Amino acid sequence: MTTSTPAPELAPRLSTASPATRAWRRFRSNKLAMIGTTIVILLILFCFAGPLVWVTDQVTVSIDLAIINKPWGTPGHPLGTNNLGYDILGRLMKAGQTSLIIGLLAGLLATLIGTCWGAIAGYIGGPVDAIMMRVVDAGIALPATFLLLILSAIMHPSIPLMIVVIGLVSWLVPARLIRAEAITIKTRDYVLALRAVGGSHTRAVARHIIPNTIGTMIVNATFQVADAILLVAYISFLGMGVEPPATDWGAMLTKGIDYTYAGYWWLIFPPGLLIVITVCAFNFIGDGLRDMFDVKGRQS
């Protein structure tokens, strides 16, 4: 009795792709994540490269009544103008710069603070962990929007200030997530080996705990950016945002609502739509990154 050897082309092929390549394939296979990535890239081009193509004056207030509150489709103003004569299309670009800059930098700042806080608390444990987590619990109990409104009323709102303030009120959730990761990582062999040879706590946290939470950090950062953009819109909608002539999408909504009775929908619909699209896009990316860094996904 003879046995046949399977043809070489039918033999199973061993994957030689690197871990980074396999992770990218998993992310690329998530259609919503790819849609979100495409949207974010287009938004960045729209907000930062768009003003180089569609040049408008977003500083000087017009006193010409003939170009104030012009409707959608007006020659030279495809999305109309607002009550100050600003071109809406150019205004969306300028407002988008503010919203994206604050959202991205505040989200990164919140993730950085939360990662350091949670890694230290989870690694050290004991009374230090208990005290640090009670601080986090107390912060979570206070509404972030309420704190932002108080700080905005006390201090002069500006883009750097809003980045710092939003980052300082948004790091609490990342801290809890990273702490949970740190508690697990500190019991692994390579951390115990470092402790056995006299390695310092600082080295353990910096070289082992934080690097091994990079997946959680990246995923959480995307959600933090989305939350920061929403917070900017909230406080600007309530009139506590950046000072004119600077603006953001939330401030555009606030100005547009004053004219809803006249049917000026083009003052509200575009910024509101961009807020929704941007937040959804970052959430899609976060979901894709979560699947990409998932341990079960790597094993499969």
Ranges of each domain in the chain: 81-295
Whole-Å CA distances, 50 to 55, 92, 115: 8, 10, 35
**By the 8 A CB rule, do 33 and 283 touch?**
no
DSSP 178-222: HHHHHHHHTTSHHHHHHHHTT--HHHHIIIIITGGGHHHHHHHHH
DSSP label at residue 67: G
State pLDDT tens for residues 220-231. 899 999 989 988
What is d(CA 36, CA 219) in angstroms, rounded to the nearest whole number? Answer: 14
State pLDDT tens for residues 205-221. 888 888 888 888 888 89
Task: Name residue 94's amino acid.
Answer: K
Q: Which of the two residues, 245 and 276, has the higher pLDDT score?
A: 276
How much is the average pLDDT of 271-276? Answer: 92
Token readout for 243 is: 């000072």
Say whether pLDDT at 280 is over 60.
yes
DSSP label at residue 143: -
* Residues forming a β-bridge with 74: 77
Whole-Å CA distances, 264 to 77, 117, 258: 14, 47, 9
State pLDDT tens for residues 173-193. 899 999 998 998 888 888 888
State pLDDT tens for residues 49-83. 999 999 888 887 776 667 788 888 888 889 988 88
Say whether pLDDT at 15 is over 70.
no
Average pLDDT, the chain: 84
State pLDDT tens for residues 128-187. 999 999 999 888 887 777 777 777 777 777 888 889 888 988 899 899 999 998 998 888
Other beta carbons within 10 angstroms of residue 83's beta carbon come to: 15
What is d(CA 195, CA 234) in angstroms, rounded to the nearest whole number? Answer: 47
Other beta carbons within 10 angstroms of residue 27's beta carbon come to: 18
Say whether pLDDT at 108 is over 90.
yes
CATH number for 81-295 (one of 1.10.3720.10, 3.40.50.12280, 3.90.1170.50, 1.20.1090.10): it is: 1.10.3720.10
Residue owning tokens 């002539």 = 245
